[in-house]
């Protein structure tokens, strides 16, 4: 059982949860993920590491309520326990010295780029970040990202905060101004990661993305998370989650993510019919 130390809403359906997992955070590295189970018979949901404090033994996850299990997670109060938190899983991100190291986070993808930016800067890179979301309310970690990056650019689709437009528009502007990164790690919704890769392809800027295929065990046993990279089948959980975005088959990733939509809708409908008290606690 894992104790929930903090848990609160950070805008619309996004939540921040802090878990007491001292052994796990001792080993965890930026770019890795964990698999959570809320209850004994519950689904296993992969979540990226958004922050960790090795001294306090805590791990932070930022998640969006999107279906049954994330809705169930949102009912857990600080001081209560979830079933388990397995990890760290997957490979750490490439944070060695590249020079101008750009991190791009879209929506909930802002969370996993945060520890990567911290580590890349610690390793001597000039780190610049672009974070974007649909609207102002969905931008989070602004202060944390300002600390982690040498420079930070913010944009929203509706122009309610920062520049108006997509993260790929900001990236194109910087390239046009001669500010070309040596390496990019982009994390966010699949169309966003694809747009970033198409922006950088003509300039041959190495661009890696973190994939989010459906995962079950997270340890290479089930094959659910398979993706195609340069025509070769890879497993998101053990070969990734980061891959060269110029080689990734984004269309296959999208279609595989949609495979269980009818079942997911049915599970959410049943969950909503039951009596649950969503925990939308204040920031404590
Ligand atoms: C490596 C990795 C890291 C992730 N990190 C985060 C994170 O930091 N924050 C966050 O909000 N989300 C993250 N996700 C996505 C998250 O796991 C799903 O949103 C969650 O599993 C949805 O479960 P559900 O029951 O609430 O929704 P469901 O109704 O079951 O599914 C809704 C949608 O979520 C996706 N999904 C469903 N089950 C899984 C699964 N087992 N694995 C992956 N995707 C699934 C599918 O696209 C599906 O259509 C990550 C996924 C991966 C693979
Ligand atoms: S989640 Fe089962 S092989 Fe990757």
User: Could you tell me the pLDDT band of residue 271, with boundaries at 50, 70 and 90?
Assistant: confident
**250: Cβ contacts below 8 Å, ≥ 6 apart:** 190, 193, 194, 197
Quote the CA–CA distance of 222 and 99 in Å, as a whole number. 38
Quote the CA–CA distance of 173 and 164 in Å, as a whole number. 12
Ligand nearest to the CA of 73: 1
User: Could you tell me the pLDDT band of residue 275, with boundaries at 50, 70 and 90?
Assistant: low
Average pLDDT over residues 139-163: 97
- The pLDDT, as a whole number, for residue 260 is 72
Domain 100-210, CATH among 3.30.70.20, 3.60.70.12, 3.30.56.10, 3.40.50.80: 3.40.50.80
* Model confidence at 115: pLDDT above 70: yes
pLDDT single digits (tens) 155-206:
999 999 999 999 999 999 999 999 999 999 999 999 999 999 999 999 999 9
With contact defined as beta carbons under 8 Å apart, do 92 and 120 qualify? no
Least confident of 111-115, 134-138, 193-197, 211-215: 211-215
- The pLDDT, as a whole number, for residue 269 is 76
User: Does residue 3 sit in helix, strand or coil?
Assistant: strand
Q: What is the rounded average pLDDT for all residues in the chain? A: 93
**263: Cβ contacts below 8 Å, ≥ 6 apart:** none
Higher per-residue confidence, 278 vs 137 = 137
- The pLDDT, as a whole number, for residue 276 is 65
- Residue ranges, comma separated, of all CATH 3.40.50.80 domains in the chain are 100-210
- Residue ranges, comma separated, of all CATH 2.40.30.10 domains in the chain are 2-90+262-273
pLDDT single digits (tens) 47-83:
999 999 999 999 999 999 988 899 999 999 999 999 9
- The pLDDT, as a whole number, for residue 283 is 60
* Model confidence at 263: pLDDT above 70: yes
Q: What percent of the chain has pLDDT over 90?
A: 83
- pTM attached to this predicted model: 0.92
The CB of 221 under 6 Å from ligand 2? The reply is yes
User: Could you tell me the pLDDT band of residue 280, with boundaries at 50, 70 and 90?
Assistant: low
Atom of ligand 1 nearest to the CA of 267: 29
Average pLDDT over residues 3-14: 95
Superfamily of domain 2-90+262-273: Translation factors (2.40.30.10)
| Alpha carbon distances (Å) from 86 to 25, 220, 283 | 11, 14, 26
Quote the CA–CA distance of 191 and 147 in Å, as a whole number. 28
The rounded Å distance from CA 112 to ligand 1 centre is 14
| Alpha carbon distances (Å) from 220 to 146, 235, 236, 254, 272 | 36, 7, 8, 20, 33
Quote the CA–CA distance of 136 and 68 in Å, as a whole number. 26
| Pocket of ligand 1 from Cβ distances under 6 Å | 33, 43, 45-48, 61-64, 66-70, 108, 111-112, 212-215, 241, 257, 261, 264, 268
The CB of 35 under 6 Å from ligand 2? The reply is no
Which residue CA neighbors atom 2 of ligand 2 most closely?
Answer: 222
Phi, psi dihedral angles at 155 (to 5 degrees): -145, 155
Ligand nearest to the CA of 217: 2
With contact defined as beta carbons under 8 Å apart, do 15 and 7 qualify? yes
Average pLDDT over residues 89-116: 96
The rounded Å distance from CA 210 to ligand 2 centre is 15
Dihedral in degrees, nearest 10, Cα atoms 224, 236, 41, 22: 170
């Amino acid at each position: 059982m894992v104790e929930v130390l903090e848990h609160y809403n950070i805008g619309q359906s996004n939540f921040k949860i802090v878990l007491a997992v001292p052994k796990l955070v001792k080993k965890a590295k930026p770019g890795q993920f964990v698999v959570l189970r809320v209850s004994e018979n519950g689904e296993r949901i992969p979540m990226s590491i958004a922050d960790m404090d090795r001294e306090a033994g805590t791990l932070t996850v930022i998640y969006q309520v999107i279906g049954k299990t994330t809705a169930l997670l949102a009912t857990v109060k600080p001081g209560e326990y979830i079933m388990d938190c397995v990890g760290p899983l997957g490979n750490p991100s490439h944070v060695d010295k590249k020079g101008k190291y750009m991190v791009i986070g879209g929506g909930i993808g802002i969370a996993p780029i945060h520890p990567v930016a911290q580590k890349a800067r610690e390793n001597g890179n000039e780190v610049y970040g672009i974070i974007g979301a649909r609207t102002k309310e969905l931008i989070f970690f602004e202060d944390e990202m300002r600390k982690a990056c040498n420079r930070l650019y913010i944009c929203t689709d509706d122009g309610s905060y920062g520049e108006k437009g997509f993260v790929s528009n900001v990236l194109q502007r910087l390239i046009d101004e001669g500010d070309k990164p040596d390496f990019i790690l982009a994390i966010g919704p699949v169309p966003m990661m694809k747009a970033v890769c198409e922006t950088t392809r003509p300039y041959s800027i190495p661009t890696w993305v973190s994939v989010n295929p459906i995962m079950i065990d997270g340890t290479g046993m089930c094959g659910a998370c398979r993706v195609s990279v340069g025509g070769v089948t890879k497993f998101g959980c053990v070969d990734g989650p980061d891959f060269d975005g110029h080689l990734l088959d984004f269309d296959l990733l999208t279609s595989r993510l949609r495979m269980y939509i009818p079942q997911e809708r049915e599970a959410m409908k049943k969950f909503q019919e039951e009596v649950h008290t969503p925990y939308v606690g204040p920031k404590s």
